[in-house]
Structure 1
Amino acid sequence: MYLADEAWPDLEAYFEAESLAIVPLGSTEQHGPHLPEGTDHLIAEGLAREAADRTGYLCTPTINIGVSPHHKQFPGTMWVDAPQFRDYVESFTRNLTYHGIDRVVYVNAHGGNIEHLQEVGRRLYDDETAFAVEWMWDESIPDLVDDLFEHNGPHGGPKETAMIQHLHPDLVHDDRLDEARDGGVLMEEVENAEPDGRRRGMVHGARAFYDAADNTDNGVLGDQTDATAEKGAQLFEAASDQLVQLCEWLAARSPEELRPKPHV
């Protein structure tokens, strides 16, 4: 069930019967020369809608802009500051609890959102308003990701390329995959790099960079030429299975199981 498509009497019936909502979140930011800036929110929405279709749980509209200042040097990247993002997510989640939701799955596809969604979940948990968890699709299937790609990348790499090839093939510039690979870097090059004023990795145990542009000229990492729509379909199916199982697990918990334990 997609919230924005429904009339209020039908939503009222849902809230009387169920207490779980699925919230997709991503970003609108550069993903290299070959992928759309909506890559993250398109992946999050695809997975959230699939899980909602398979379970009957409520899916809300997608949050398209996240915490992305580390991509600001590339044209078109949009972002909100972290405190405002946290407050916004907390506010609309409390709105859902007003209607009877007390458990939420944040279907996230942007690394920059992770810690902030976890912080919102902590706030809602501490005051016993709701039990909200952050779920990152690739972290739910790490072994499959490793099996499919020799040179993966955390941003604009083959796993995201494959997912968009599967979900929205018309938005992928397949003729630029070589350019994406050759103009970017492999993740191990960043991790092992010596600081040289341009690309920097870990220096004496510190992460000595803040922006994507510090490491990669075109904004991406990994070997994009290793991506295919078929691999994307495998990733999508496996991650969807994990998300469905998470939703069913969370829905089956009693309210008492989802509250903080008393002081010992």
Structure 2
Amino acid sequence: MEKAKEIINMTRDEVQAAIEEFPVAILPLGATEQHGHHLPLGVDIFLAEGISRKLSERTGALVLPSQPFGYSWVWRDIPGTVSLQQHHVEAVIKDVAHSVSRYGIKMLVLVNGHDANNASMKYATRELADELDIPVIYLFYPNMEEIMEQNCDSPTWHGMIHACEFETSLMLALKPELVNLSKAVCEYPEKPRLYGKSSISLGNLSKSGVYGDATAASKEKGEKMLELFVSEMEQIILEAYEEVDKELHKDTKKSN
């Protein structure tokens, strides 16, 4: 298994050589927001980065510097939070895609660690389909429900993951030095009838900032889930690139 190719640590010549070998780039997407009292604000960044590095090791794809801010409106009053407007997240994704397409990247992969980025990824990808010739693949914990059901002991809070057994376990697998399990709690706030139908915010529902049972987390669970996610994402990337490679070979034959 080769070392992850993170462009922030590479020279222009190293980047060019990597593109010639496998012209795929990965953009990790995260957020800077609270994750309870036991986890750092960079959870979504660390998880997206960790998965992206493993994908680079397995495929040879380049890893771009992470997008550290997402749409975090619900936590906007908690110290440390930085929130971008949703359309700004979309604009950053599009600008990155346009940038990398200019020098030979033939496919961009978005690896997301923050649920609220999903809408921005979807709409940016749709717009880019009409603007660029390179495909954009967006990934957010594929088969998550099934994998959680097999590996987690606690239920989610109405299908949401935040500072819970799931995220805490993944952090224990990737960044254990930043997890303080002595401060982990279990909290399932009451869900108001108007939640999701008004401006009622997650930031006002949970006292701890945890939605689920963080005390049930373990490194072993995190490692198992991480391997399942990375393996599935690797297959998706390689499958998607097969189509890109076919088109590249078609163009080569035409030019000959």
- What TM-score do the two structures reach when normalised by structure 2? 0.87
Tell me if 1:15 matches 2:29.
no
Matched, 1:240 2:226: no
| Change beyond 3 A, Cα 1:161–1:14 | same
Shift of 1:127: 2.3
1:46 corresponds to 2:50: yes
Change (3 A) 1:106 1:210: farther
Instruction: Find 2:72's aligned residue among 48, 59, 68.
Output: 68
Distance in 1, Cα, partners of 2:207 & 2:67: 28
Measured against aligned partners, the alpha-carbon deviations of 1:41-67 in whole angstroms (never above 9, x if no partner) come to 000000000010111111111111111
Report the counterpart of residue 262 of structure 1 in structure 2.
none
| Separation in structure 2 between the aligned mates of residue 22 and residue 219 of structure 1, nearest angstrom | 30
**Residues 210 and 110 of structure 1: is their aligned pair in 2 closer, same or farther, counting only changes over 3 Å?**
farther
Letter in 1 for 2:147: L
Alpha carbons 1:19, 1:251 under 8 Å: kept:
no
Instruction: Work out whether 1:141 is the aligned partner of 2:148.
Output: no
The match for 2:205 among 203, 212, 215 is 215
Q: Any unmatched runs of 5+ in structure 2?
A: 249-256
Provide Cα deviations, 1:95-143, integer angstroms capped at 9, x if missing partner: 0001111311100010111000111111111223321122002x43321
The 1-side partners of 2:6 and 2:183 are apart by 35
Q: Aligned equivalents of 1:210 and 1:98: distance in 2?
A: 43
Which residue in 2 is equivalent to 1:165?
172
C-alpha distance in structure 2 between counterparts of 1:211 and 1:28, whole Å: 17
TM-score normalised by structure 1 residue count: 0.84
State how 1:70-149 maps to structure 2 within 5 Å: 70-137=74-141, 139-147=142-150, 148-149=152-153
Q: Distance in 1 between matches of 2:224 and 2:169?
A: 9
Structure 1 counterpart of 2:62: 58
**Is residue 26–residue 111 contact of structure 2 (8 Å, CA) maintained in 1?**
yes
Q: 2:111 is paired with a residue of what secondary structure?
A: strand
Distance 2:56 2:14 in 1: 15
Q: What is the letter of the counterpart of residue 162 of structure 1?
A: S
CA–CA separation in structure 2 for the residues paired with 1:255 and 1:126:
20
Specify whether residues 218 and 17 from structure 1 end up closer, same or farther in structure 2 by C-alpha distance, changes over 3 A only: same
**Cα offset, 1:152, TM superposition:** 2.7
Q: CA deviation at 1:210?
A: 4.1
Separation of aligned partners in 1, 2:7 and 2:200 = 37
Distance in 2, Cα, partners of 1:29 & 1:75: 9
The runs of at least 4 consecutive aligned structure 1 residues that moved more than 6 Å come to 255-258
- CA shift, 1:209, in A, is 4.5
Aligned to 2:26, the other structure's residue is in SS state: strand
Q: Identity of paired residues, percent? A: 26
Query: Bigger shift: 11-20 or 34-43?
Result: 11-20
Superposed CA RMSD: 2.0
CA distance in 2, matches of 1:222, 1:13: 45
Shift of 1:150: 2.5
Count how many residue pairs are aligned between Structure 1 and Structure 2.
240
Question: CA contact under 8 A between 1:162 and 1:232: conserved in structure 2?
Answer: yes
**What aligned pairs does 1:186-225 form with structure 2 within 5 A after superposition?**
189-190=190-191, 193=192, 195=193, 201=195, 207-225=197-215
